[in-house]
Amino acid sequence: MTVYKLHYFENVGGRAELIRLLFAYGGIEFEEISLNFSDWPKLKANYPNGQVPVLEKDGKILPQSIAIARLVARKANLLGEGDWEMAQADAFVDTAVDVITEMKTRGINVKIREGKGSEIAEELGQALKPYFERIEKHLKTTNGVNLVGDHLTWADFALADLFKRYSITATSVLEEFSAVKKFVDHFHELPQIKKYVAKRTLKFL
């Protein structure tokens, strides 16, 4: 059996957590190759594009978090049913990337790592609201707990857990959007996800 190796920073969610969730749900074995921030400057040149995460398989390296996540989602049969659903799921995953990119641009993750979460909770909440509003409107239109169709896709993984993790700091924002909260809660009640989240040791978003 092929064992995948996921290279990323130790105890950091970031751009690797979607991949880990997909592995967990799909029951796909993988090994975590943990990196430390202090070692990163001397390791960076060893990685394609000077970035992580990367996925290693049989000595081959795949860069780019979304390409990796899409591969694992395909293995777990979570891409969607048919071209249109797959494209819809891709669009929601792109939205998750937009959220991560904006938070990085604002320096939100760094501030949380520095223990300044309480200082930036309001800013984070305001930054998240436009995304929550769009997903709220969509979910109320579909009257469901999944973003695409009536079944689970990797789009649910991309946004539900991301929203949940950021809401730990911006504690009130999730309560303002009932459909989003229902979506997030439903996702985290999935047995495989519940088991994984109970064991994970994330210290940083």
The secondary structure of 29-95, three-state, reads CEEEEEECHHHHHHHHHHCHHHCCCEEEECCEEEECHHHHHHHHHHHCCCCCCHHHHHHHHHHHHHH
Which residues belong to CATH 1.20.1050.10 in the chain?
Answer: 83-190
Where are the alpha helices (H) located in 76-190, listed in sequence order? Answer: 82-106, 108-113, 117-142, 154-167, 178-188
Q: Give residue 42's pLDDT band: very low, low, confident or very high (50, 70, 90).
A: very high
Is 119 a residue whose pLDDT tops 90? no
Query: Whole-model pTM above 0.85?
Result: yes
Mean pLDDT score across all residues of the chain: 92
3-state class (DSSP) for residue 127? helix
Q: Tens of pLDDT along 148-167?
A: 999 999 999 999 999 998 88
Q: Which fold has domain 83-190?
A: Glutathione S-transferase Yfyf (Class Pi); Chain A, domain 2 (1.20.1050)
Q: Considering the chain, what percentage of its residues have pLDDT values greater than 90?
A: 72
Which residues belong to CATH 3.40.30.10 in the chain?
Answer: 4-76+194-199
Position 2 scores a pLDDT of 65
Position 1 scores a pLDDT of 60
Q: Tens of pLDDT along 60-105?
A: 999 999 999 999 999 999 999 999 999 999 999 999 999 999 988 8
Report d(CA 60, CA 86) in Å as an integer: 26
Pairing of strands 30-35, 4-9: parallel
Q: Give residue 205's pLDDT band: very low, low, confident or very high (50, 70, 90).
A: low
The architecture that CATH gives domain 4-76+194-199 is: 3-Layer(aba) Sandwich (3.40)
